[in-house]
Chain A
Amino acid sequence: MPKYTFRLNGQPVSVDSWDPAQPLLYALRGPLALHGPKFGCGLGQCGACTVLVDKTATRSCTLPVSRAAGREITTLEGLGTPERPDVVQAAFIAEQAAQCGYCTNGMIVAAKALLARTPKPTVDQIKQALDGNLCRCGTHTRIVRAIQRASEA
């Protein structure tokens, strides 16, 4: 079975896949046993599966594992832990910017990418940056507040 090697949360990893078109998401959630990225639609429409690929927010449900080879992948787990959360994660916790939390992965990862290129975004810039991330519970106002808080930290 073909093997694909990339860096995941700072560590070199390799996964076997019978299908080069297998989305990265299934490799992350299956053999690599990570649960931050979630399956939401498999269509690149909702953002629940977002990961950073070389610091760019990317839909792992539509990115073939073969195209992850040689790249630097960061997932929600790679940002921080419950005990030592990253600045964006800490802001989401402080603002309690989650209800069910299924979309939270995508929100935090998209916010990381936004703040990397725009450290002090306006509310409108935050909303535009998250246009492709859906939240069903209606936690939008808190998520925007959390990203503002992170940008001020």
Chain B
Amino acid sequence: MRTDVISRRDVLKAGGALVVSFAFAGVPRDLFAQARRPFDAAQGRPVDSGEVDGLLAIHANGSVTLYTSKVDVGTGIRIALAQMAAEELGVSPARVTVVEGDTATCPDQGGTGGSTGLIRGGTEIRAAAATARRALLQMGATQLNRPVADLTIADGQVQPRNGGAGVAIGSLIGDRLFSLKVDRNAPLTPPSQHAAIGKPLLRPDVPAKCTGRHVYVQDFTLPGMLHGRIVRPPSMGATLVSVDETSLRGIPDVRVVRVENFLAVVAKDEWAAVRAATALKATWRERASLPGHEGLDRFSRSAPLERDQEILNRGNAADVSRRAARTMTATYFWPFQSHASLGPSCAVGDVRADGSATVWTASQGVHGLRGNLSKVFGIPQDKLRVIFLDGSGSYGTNGTDHVAADALLLSKTVGQPVRVQWMRHDEHGWDPKGPQQLLDVRAALDTDGRIVAWETEMWVPNAAPGARALLSADAAGLEQEHGTGSGAITQNGEPPYAVDNVRVVAHLIKDTPLQLSNLRAPGKIANVFAVEGFTDEIAAAQGVDAVEFRLKRLSDPRAIDAITRTASAFKWDTRPSPNPRAKQGPSTSLGTSNVLVGRGIAYMRYKQMENYVAMAMEVAVNPATGHIQVRRVTCAHDCGMVVNPDGLRNQVEGCIVQTLSRALHEEVQFDRSRVTSVDWTTYPILRFPEAPAVDVILIDRPNEPLVGAGEAATAPVAAALANAVFDATGVRLRTVPFTPARVKAALA
């Protein structure tokens, strides 16, 4: 047994093992040297998204490779990107392979977030493909001795429009460089001629995922690789006093690594590392710096502010409000929530004696991660390669960037490749969290019941600039940035309806108790919960049907279309809420008591400029137990041009079911020292018996620009659910999650 105590200064020394490593006799390191060589650089391919050759290569056999920093975290963008490129290159999408998230070969098109996978990644790749198409047509014209105007590209060939012999694109360019800048205005195939875009093609990764052949980062291994586990402190910010390594007696080939307050074990055998991390006795000086999750709404209202930010100020809401015939007000609250990824985060780090390093990771932002790791660990960017491999579903930033730093730090320390996978309690306890949000909403009404003024005040964490601090670097005492960004959490704070006077103000709270993350549709779910819940309150107070109330205040035909299609498919019964005939007999799914049944609707336009989404829901509430059963959901979704309708449908369904889980069950619990909801019992998520029937109506608008689809359908879910519960019970739920205990108390 040995403990390696290393200083933070040693960590920053270039290259090499800091401590003597296990002897792995005869490990042929060259075995994986091949996989590490940046082959594209050797070919002279620019890693630049402004160059056609940076984003795509056409091989001699006519197959195509795309290079992108946009990664597929289960969203299906692999096939969607292939379809967008194939459309312009006149090849089958089956011939297109996507290389994702390798900093050595993929240009930086930004991280995969904010639903920008297709908006930016796809659009740039399509423009590159269209630029290549134009060049290929010119090459073909020379080869065939025909004018360009007579030619087209189809079936992998440049060929005359009116038939006759063509020439394969693989023979025209075959692995040579185009050496062309991407022309953002290169003509695109018109929608009427789309052959690849708009088709429900199957995702290429699903067969391997369903047969255990897909290589996730959790499955990736290297020769001589060790397994690491991190021993996190028992309370946030605790300092390490001492370690008793005799507690590991009997566990084979295991070592303790300590860098200041960073404590970890590495072992040849993964189970030995797991056992050692559990068995290791350490003494910590604990801290009790957190406010606790109980009363977090009060904490948010009274916490010191960094500043106030005016998000929107149209007309003069305050004045109009003061003079109005009637005002209404309500307070909504959303708690901290976890990504709660099903598989704990994992990474493999390999720091070499020459100072170069490679990290295999499921990060949604490989270039950003490289930049941050480079700064924190003192490895020049050109010597640090970050390679994406699929991980467990991530919806913004889960623990994956942290674990990459863990693996890098350990590999740098022991001088061998190290794989680190977090344990369940690590993921739930230490993944960065979606922030708490407190919202006050006020509406002023005139004597005819029109909304003449609307005010939203939100209390949300301030977004201090800089990268999110890496846990292991903080523990090891390494200097780094401490950014607190959690995405564009103030969007969708205003109603999407015609209101002359609107003011939205964000009170930005100085400090955050838990580290923050841009969790799926950051901020928008809670903001729409408040705005659309409150809209429903106003409609109900006036005795007006919820669909009618909304349609009367909208003029955008796409908005109206989304709502009317939803209402029609749902078979919406036009009447005010609450439901006069809510009482129904016993429901099989909710036990033997009578249930209360209702329906609700919510609508929003994502970020007020992207997707139009309307959603109706039917619920049954058991007043005896407080259980809510969502029976069915209908959602009309308009994201402009649809690239792959089945992939899109899968995303919309996932958005709905996952957000039902968040609204019904999820709240990060923590005391003064630590997160206490650290497994699936203390942080429950939705289970199969609760899964509703989901009917998704895709509104395809091939002539409109596409927008993303990974997030938008999450935003109206909690509001539609709360509105349905109100319709069923007459009780308004304004705090998430709608746990049985909370519902029962509200109904009492």
Contact = CB atoms under 8 A, between A and B. Distances in A.
Contacts of A77: 211-213
Nearest to B253: A18
A18 B269 contact: yes
Interface in B646-679: 646-647, 650-651, 653-661, 679
A45 B212 contact: no
Nearest to A44: B680
Nearest to B227: A30
Contacts of A135: 342
A137 B689 contact: no
A62 interface: no
A95 to B, nearest CB: 9
Given A30-B269, A41-B679, A141 B421 contact: no
The binding surface of chain A is classed by DSSP as loop
Contacts of B203: 96
A19 B275 contact: yes
A40 B393 CA distance: 12
A35 B343 CA distance: 13
Given A77-B211, A99-B74, A139 B654 contact: yes
B74 A101 contact: yes
Nearest to B207: A82
Nearest to B646: A96
B497 interface: no
Contact of B211 (A41, A48, A76, A139): A76
- Counting chain B CB atoms within 10 Å of each CB, which of A17, A77, A96, A100 scores highest? A100
B624 interface: no
B467 interface: no
Contacts of B650: 96, 99, 139, 142
- Sorted nearest first, the 3 A-B pairs with minimum C-beta distance are A36-B212, A138-B657, A100-B74
Contact of B687 (A30, A37, A101, A131): A131
Given A19-B271, A45-B680, A139 B653 contact: yes
Nearest to A61: B424
26 contacts: A19-B272, A22-B271, A26-B270, A30-B271, A35-B214, A38-B218, A39-B343, A40-B342, A40-B344, A41-B680, A79-B211, A96-B202, A96-B206, A98-B74, A99-B74, A99-B650, A101-B206, A102-B341, A105-B212, A128-B688, A137-B393, A138-B653, A139-B657, A140-B691, A141-B692, A143-B688
B430 to A, nearest CB: 15
Nearest to B203: A96
A81 B74 contact: no
B567 interface: no
B210 A89 contact: yes
Interface in B304-348: 340-344
A85 interface: yes
Contacts, number: 188
A116 interface: no
B33 interface: no
A43 B270 contact: no
A101 B341 CA distance: 12
B654 A99 contact: yes
A102 B343 contact: yes
A134 interface: yes
Interface in A70-111: 75-77, 79-82, 85, 89, 92-93, 96, 98-105, 108
A124 B202 CA distance: 28
A151 B651 CA distance: 25
A134 B694 CA distance: 18
A138 B656 contact: yes
Contacts of B686: 138, 140
B423 interface: yes
B531 to A, nearest CB: 23
A37 B216 CA distance: 12
A42 interface: yes
B654 A137 contact: yes
- Counting chain B CB atoms within 10 Å of each CB, which of A34, A96, A105 scores highest? A96
B657 A141 contact: yes
A101 to B, nearest CB: 3
B210 A104 contact: yes
Contacts of B275: 19
Interface of B: 73-76, 202-203, 205-216, 218-219, 252, 269-272, 274-275, 340-344, 390-394, 421, 423-424, 588, 646-647, 650-651, 653-661, 679-681, 685-689, 691-694
Contact of A130 (B588, B688, B693): B688
A144 interface: yes
Contacts of B214: 35, 101
B689 A127 contact: yes
Contacts of A102: 216, 341-343, 391-393
Contacts of A85: 207, 210-211
A96 B477 CA distance: 46
A76 B421 CA distance: 22
Contact of B342 (A29, A75, A100): A100
Contacts of B393: 99-100, 102, 136-137
Given A40-B424, A96-B650, A35 B688 contact: no
A45 B272 CA distance: 22
Contact of B680 (A17, A76, A126, A134): A134
Nearest to A90: B210
Given A17-B271, A82-B208, 7 more contacts: A19-B271, A34-B212, A36-B212, A45-B424, A45-B680, A81-B211, A134-B680
A60 interface: no
A93 B206 CA distance: 6
A140 B211 contact: no
A93 B688 contact: no
A30 B269 CA distance: 8
Interface string A110-150: 00000000000000101110110111111111111000000
A46 interface: yes
Contact of A81 (B213, B660, B685, B689): B213
Contacts of A39: 218, 343-344, 421
B678 to A, nearest CB: 10
A143 B691 CA distance: 11
A89 B209 CA distance: 9
B680 A137 contact: no
A143 B209 CA distance: 14
Contacts of A139: 650, 653-654, 657
A140 B653 CA distance: 9
A25 to B, nearest CB: 9
A89 B341 CA distance: 23
A92 B203 CA distance: 12
A10 to B, nearest CB: 15
A18 B272 CA distance: 9
A138 B696 CA distance: 14
B210 A93 contact: yes
Contacts of A48: 342-343
B618 to A, nearest CB: 15
A138 B655 CA distance: 7
A39 B229 CA distance: 14
